[in-house]
Structure 1
Amino acid sequence: MLNRVVLVGRLTKDPDLRYTASGKAVANFTIAVNRPFSNQQGDREADFINCVIWNKAAENLANYMSKGSLIGIDGNLQTRNYDGQDGKKVYVTEVLAGSVQFLESKNKTASNSGNQNQGSNQPNTNTPPDGAEPIDISDDDLPF
């Protein structure tokens, strides 16, 4: 049997770090993952995936990543249930992340969110790393 999930997306809000009664760290977070195709109106849609991570990885995620950060996760899908306040069973499906990769620095995330607030007619001041040649490719040509 195989149950493996690999996702790349952006945090929709800051991770929610908590500690169990025994002192284990646990962070709940949601990532927005773009679908690889456009809808009939030509817009890209995203899925919002609920995730949980434990221990030191949870603390690192909460300490170093925030809303808008690009991350990659590797884990598995799990379903759990509990009795809600109204007495009905509540089912939750989420990704139990085994590891998280930080795909951009915290400073880059801050500058990206700042750039989003600027007008769309602002020139792109991003420069490629030393020795790298810029490429001319459309987002529609990318496989992700």
Structure 2
Amino acid sequence: MTNLVILVGRIARDPETRTTQSGSSITSISVVTDRPARNKEGKTYKDENGYTAKDSEFHRVTCFNGLGQNVAKYCTKGQLVSLEGRIHYSQWEDAEGNKRYGCEIYADKVDFLTKSRENNNEGAPPIDED
């Protein structure tokens, strides 16, 4: 059995980090991916600017400990990243007692495909520029 996710997309908002009571670091990011939009006939079409219209999907991604610390330190909104991880589903009860469900990606690896806009990423892991 396999639970493997590979995404290439842009970070939709700056990373948010929190620390658990046990001292673990958890960093959350949202990664947006695009694909060509299709009309009712299943064909791609152009938007009002003449570009191929796109549908966007936002993916909740969670990074733990060292990986999360690197993502928080070196990533910013708009940066292109590649990530590998697994899908994680959760279930809980809200304050009113209703069952709630969630889906996110637990990242095992995040590669920075572009440099951060806010800093020069000094000390960041190298970017493959093949």
- CA–CA distance in structure 2, aligned partners of residues 60 and 75 of structure 1: 16
1:34-82 superposed Cα distances (whole Å, 9 cap, x missing partner) = 11x2333431111111111101110110111011111111001110111
Aligned to 1:57: 67
3-state SS of 2:73 partner: helix
Instruction: Judging by fraction of residues, say which structure has more helix.
Output: 1
Query: Normalized against structure 2, the TM-score is what?
Result: 0.78
Structure 1 segments of 4 or more deviating over 4 A?
none
Q: 2:106 aligns with which of 96, 101, 110?
A: 96
- CA–CA distance in structure 1, aligned partners of residues 54 and 107 of structure 2: 25
Higher relative contact order (CA 8 A, sep 6+): 2
Aligned to 1:48: 58
Aligned to 2:115: 105
- CA–CA distance in structure 2, aligned partners of residues 69 and 84 of structure 1: 34
- Identity percentage of aligned residues: 29
> What letter matches 1:78 in structure 2?
H
Structure 2 residue ranges without an equivalent (≥5): 40-44, 47-52, 119-128
Provide the aligned length of Structure 1 versus Structure 2: 109
Considering only aligned residues, what root-mean-square deviation do their CA atoms show, in Å? 1.8
> What letter matches 1:26 in structure 2?
I
Aligned to 2:37: 38
- CA–CA distance in structure 2, aligned partners of residues 15 and 39 of structure 1: 31
Q: Which has the larger radius of gyration?
A: 1
- CA–CA distance in structure 2, aligned partners of residues 61 and 39 of structure 1: 34
Structure 1 residue ranges without an equivalent (≥5): 111-128, 130-144
